[in-house]
Amino acid sequence: MADERITLSDLKERMAAFVRERDWEQFHTPKNISMSIAIEAAELMEHFQWLTVEQSKKLDADALQDIGEELADIVIYSLSMANFLQIDLAETVLAKMDKNIRKYPIEKVRGKAHKYTYYQKQDEQGE
């Protein structure tokens, strides 16, 4: 699988070249890219809009292809944003995962789907 061979750096470099070759740096601003990410996320949601939970777990090959392309669009724009803002994505993702580990301790959240503020309120109330 390509996921095992290609690094984030490889993808970022490829995205930068794609944008540069088309002289699109002028359009790939944080404002525009953030809006593009939101638009692509909405397009991803459209694939699931009228499905039941069970249907969303059993997608055919065509649906998976389309959904994969929407995910790719989100990642592509995210790479472009990281390039523009000079964000080290791997470092940032790892730091965010560490933060989430602290916000969602296993002993409090296992099998639950509350936002972290729910657990903070419980702590404050001594529950």
Tens digits of per-residue pLDDT, 3-31? 899 999 999 999 999 999 999 999 999 99
Half-sphere exposure of 21 (CA within 13 A, CB side): 6
Per-residue model confidence (pLDDT) at position 43? 98
- What are the C-alpha distances in Å from 114 to residues 103, 107, 117? 11, 14, 8
- What are the C-alpha distances in Å from 40 to residues 12, 32, 106, 108, 121? 19, 12, 32, 33, 34
Q: What is the chain's mean pLDDT, rounded?
A: 94
Query: Is residue 120's pLDDT more than 90?
Result: no
Sign of CA dihedral 25, 31, 35, 38: positive
User: What average pLDDT does this structure show over 43-56?
Assistant: 98
Per-residue model confidence (pLDDT) at position 116? 80
- CATH number for the segment(s) 2-87: 1.10.287.1080
- Say what the pTM is: 0.86
CA 87 to mean position of chain CA atoms: 15
Query: Is residue 105's pLDDT more than 80?
Result: yes
Per-residue model confidence (pLDDT) at position 96? 97
Lowest mean pLDDT among 17-31, 48-62, 80-94, 108-122: 108-122
Total Cβ atoms within 10 A of residue 28? 19
Q: What are phi and psi of 22, to 5 degrees?
A: -100, 5
Query: Is residue 85's pLDDT more than 90?
Result: yes
User: What average pLDDT does this structure show over 94-112?
Assistant: 92
Instruction: Kindly list the domain boundaries of the chain, sorted by start residue.
Output: 2-87, 89-127
What is the CA angle 67-71-74, rounded to 5?
A: 145
Query: Is residue 126's pLDDT more than 80?
Result: no
